[in-house]
Structure formats: structure tokens, C-alpha cells
Structure 1
Amino acid sequence: MFFLMALYYISYRNLFMMKKFLVLGILSLYFSSSFAQEERKIPFSVAISAHITKYNQRIDAAYQDQDLERAQFLFDSLVTNHLSGTYMDDFSVYPLKGDPISLEEYEKPVFLITYASWCVPGIGEIPALNDLVDKFHDQIDFVVLFWDNKESLKEKAKEYTENIQLVHIDEKTNQDSYIINKLKHALGFPMMYFMDNNKKILDIRKIVTHHSSETLSNSYNIHFNSLSKGVSLLIADLDLNSEISPEANAEENEDQRTDEERDIDEEYERYKREKDSLNGKKRDNR
């Protein structure tokens, strides 16, 4: 009789230990998988540094062959495969009035255009941009960054609507020289960067160009169509992120576990209670 009881105790203990290791193994796999799925926030400066040398070699060859179609393909490939999904490094810009502004301070999605006073925009470019900004500035932060000094920016300010945030950076004096160098020189300018409110880059596009003899009407339409694609991208991303309703959040908070997951959780709770009980007995026997 004693032998049977001992055998039963040993079998029960072995079964308990097997369940214990099974539960711990499943939990370990679950947490390992959860951490593995966390997004790696790769800075834009790191990504561009890793790929810009090879990109420059290929695009220089394309321009030497006067193959503009391949040059555009190389640019699109660089953006799509290596830059989209990275996060813009934080840096400071300088408005005409007030203190410097950190990029992180912009709370809305950002439509960033990099420019310089010596760049000559198409005749309809700024009017098209002004119209889009006046319509969507409540949802998007429109920032036009001039690689210039304050005086040069003053001369340009009167051309833009007051809803555009005009800022400048003097590369010689800016403290964020590393990212500024990459942002200004790696891809050139004028350039458009589209970022969500977390500064994740959704896309990067060149400002469209056309012949200087283009009429105001045609130039306006060309630029309006191009700029509006960037606005649509940011609005679509904004809408996508706001689709989760309070009802959906409430449903997520409900018990969504399967029966198998619930059994595992209950088994783990039993294991914790038995372990705590054994530890308590050990303390009492001391």
C-alpha cells in the first residue's frame, strides 16, 4: 500500500513538473516573440549613410548616360527600399521670430519642404502650395525649411501664406551638423519629406520642375497635382490611425483569449499558487 502511494506521489510530481516546464516554455516563447516584433526605429541619418555612396555611384552613371528615367528609378528605389519607414532625426530650425524649434515639437504630421533662396520655383508652385496649406493646415504642419540666413528668409516670407511655418538653418552655425549635412547634401534640394506625427518617414519626393516658359495656369496645375499627392498621403495615414473607435478599444479590453490560452493561464496561476504555498511552508519550518 505504501509502495502504491509513493508511486502515485512520484507520478503526480512528475506530471506537475512537466506541466510547469510546458507552461514556462510557452510563456518564454510568447514573450520572446513579443519583443522580437517590436519595431526598430532606424534613424534617417543612419539609413542614408549606409546607402548613399552606392546610390551616388549609380546615379552619377545614369546622368552621364543622360538616362533620366533610370536616375528617377534609382531615387525611387532608394526611398522605397531604404528610407521610407525610418525616423527623421531631431534637429532645430529657426523661425523669423521667437526661439529655435525642435522638429519633435511639431505634433501633427509634417509636410517638410527643403529649399534655398537661390532656387527658382515654378511660377505656379508657391500659389499652389499656399492654397493647399490654407485648406489643410489644421491637420498637417507645413514647414518650408530654407538653407539660408535670416535675412534671406525675410525676403521670401511675403510670398507664402501665414499658415506655412517658414524656418531657416545656417549650416555653418547649426549645432545639429550631422543630420543637417545628411538632410541637405545627401539627396539635394528642393525636396519634400512626408512624416507622420511620430516623425516616421512615409515618403520622400522631389519637387517637380517644368520649363520656365510654362504659363501660370499650367504651372499651378502641375504643382497642385504633385503637392496634393503628398497631402493625400498624410491625410490617409492620419485617417488610418484614427479609425480605431472607442467601441473597438473596449472590445480589445475584453477577454479575447482562446480556450487553450485560458487553460494555460489558469494552469500557470495554479503553479504560482502551489509554488507560493511551498515557499510559505519552507519559511514556517525554519
Structure 2
Amino acid sequence: MKNFFVFFLLIGVFYSSIAQEEVKVPFSVAISAHINKYNQRIDEAYEDNDMERATFLFDSLVDNHLKGTYMDNFQVNQLKGESLSLNSFEKPIYLVTYAAWCVPGIGEIPAFNDLVERFHDQIDFVVLFWDTEENLKSKADDYSEFAHLVYVDEKSNQNSYIINKLKHALGFPMTYFMDPDKKILDIRKVITHHSSESLSNSYNIHFNSLSKGVSLLIADLDTRPPEEKDAEMVTEDLSKPTGPRDDRTEEERRIDEEYEKYRREKDSLKKLRDN
């Protein structure tokens, strides 16, 4: 009788440990399961010129089905050196997908470069061009030397299944935020604005948007066990960009203040939990 009791106890412990173990769902599996329904509904929203609904649908797809999945490993090409895999990046990843024919806002790349210069020790900033080597070469000088510029030429790429999901399912330009284990923390569309915006306004718009992604990655690093973090990592104040910020509108200033309030409240709650 005693032996039976021990046996069932061990079985219970075994299945309990399995239940507690995280199931790592690949990004490609999750998006394949839900993208058709999403595309059908968002097409209807665009036909009705309902941009708010389209945005809601995209956010719903990301929040309910894609966050928490794990990015599939795939090969990318460098301008210099051999090809490398996504898994070769060991830091949190700020991945931007682009193509040479995309026209960024005038302040987008300067804002991106400023963040790269300040945080490349903590984050791997990867700009992935769905393009040829020659087309990437024409854009390389625009980016910081600390950004990882890579490309995928579909004609020669062997990872077509994940390329199809990354490029064709969600489109581009798009940003993916991943922790060091390639767990997706968020996916966001690259913000756009009217081409008539001044350099200063464009810079401010993009810095505010891009810096929130950096904050997300830094915040995730702060929640990791001490042994997983670099002791020399220092979190900077993202509310102070190095570029021009003298001509913010009242609306932009209000948004900045709300975001700073949110960050302070979040930091306070974290300190309370830690204590």
C-alpha cells in the first residue's frame, strides 16, 4: 500500500512539473493559425476607411496571439562576413524590417541612430532589409556603425517559411522586440507622418515612438535574475533625446509628460514589489 502511495505521489509531482513548464510556441505557428482571420477583418476595415478599427485589429492580433511566442531561428546575410542566424544575437533584440524602396520620415534614422549610440551595449539593434546586397549597400552609410545591418534576398534564402510569415503576413516596415531568449515582447508598426514635417518635428515623433521600444527591452532586462544581467548596464533617461526638442507642440509635451508619469509609477510599483 505504501509503495502505491509513493508511486502516485511521484506521478503527481511529474505532471505538476510539466504543467508549470512554459510551452514555447513558435511565432510562425501562432501567426499561421490566426493571420487569415485577421487579414479578412482588416481588409474589411480598410474598405470602410475605418483606420481605428484596423489599428485595433492589429493590436488585438499582437496582444492576444503573438506576444509571448518565440521567434523562429533563420539565416540573414551581412555586407561583410559570413551569414549568421538570429540566435547568434545574445542581447535583447530591437529588430526593424525594411526595404530599400521604403521612404522613412526625415527624422526617423537620426532618432534611431541616437538610440543605437546610447544603448548598443545593452541591446542588439538589427535592421533587416528584404532586399538585395546592392540595395542594402546604398543605405548602409545612413546608419550608425553600431547597428547590425543585414539582408534577406528571397531568391536565395532557404528559410522561406519564416520569411513568408515575417515579410508577407504582417508586412513592413515593422518592429519586433525580443528578449535574449527570442521571446517576443511586442510587435509594432513603424510610425509614419506626412512628408511635409520638419526635421525637428519628425525627429521628435520618431524618438518618442522608438524610445518606448527601448524602454520595453530595458524594463524586461531589469526583471531578470541578477546573474543574467550585465553588472555594467546602466539605464538612461529616455525622455532626454540628444537631438532637437525645442519646438514640441502642446500635445507632444502632454504625451511626453504622461509617459514619464507612467514610467515613474511603474518604477515605484517595482520598488515596492522588490521590497
1:232-271 CA distances to partner (integer Å, 9 max, x unpaired)? 11111111013479xxxxxxxxxxxxxxxxxxxxxxxxxx
Q: For residues 188-215 of structure 1, what are the alpha-carbon distances to aligned partners after superposition, in whole Å with 9 as ceiling and x for unaligned?
A: 0000000111111110000000000011
- 5 Å matches for 1:1-286? 17=1, 19-243=2-226
Structure 1: which 5+ runs fail to align?
A: 1-16, 246-286
More displaced stretch, 22-31 vs 163-172: 22-31
TM-score w.r.t. structure 1 length? 0.78
Per the alignment, residue 268 of structure 2 pairs with: none
Structure 1 CA distance, aligned partners of 2:180 and 2:45?
Answer: 35
Deviations 1:101-143 (A, max 9, x none): 1001001111000000000000000000000000000010000
RMSD: 1.2
In structure 1, the residue corresponding to 2:195 is in which secondary structure? coil
The sequence identity of aligned pairs, in percent, is: 72
**CA offset digits 1:162-194 (Å, max 9, x no partner):** 000001110111011111011100000000000
- One-letter code of the match for 1:101? L
C-alpha separation in 2, matches of 1:177 and 1:156: 24
1:85-107 Cα distance to aligned partner (Å, 9 max, x none): 11111111111100001001001
Tell me which amino acid in the other structure corresponds to 1:32: Y
Runs of 5+ unmatched residues, structure 2: 229-275
More helix by share: 1
Distance 1:244 1:159 in 2: 36
| The structure with more radius of gyration | 1
Helix, strand or coil for the counterpart of 2:142?
A: coil
C-alpha distance after superposition, 1:208-239 (max 9, x if no partner): 00000011111101100100111011111111
Distance 2:152 2:5 in 1: 59
SS at match of 1:230: helix
Residue identity matched to 2:100: S
Paired amino acid for 2:189: K
Q: In structure 2, the residue corresponding to 1:111 is in which secondary structure? A: strand
Residue identity opposite 1:63 in structure 2: Y
Partner of 1:235, secondary structure, is helix
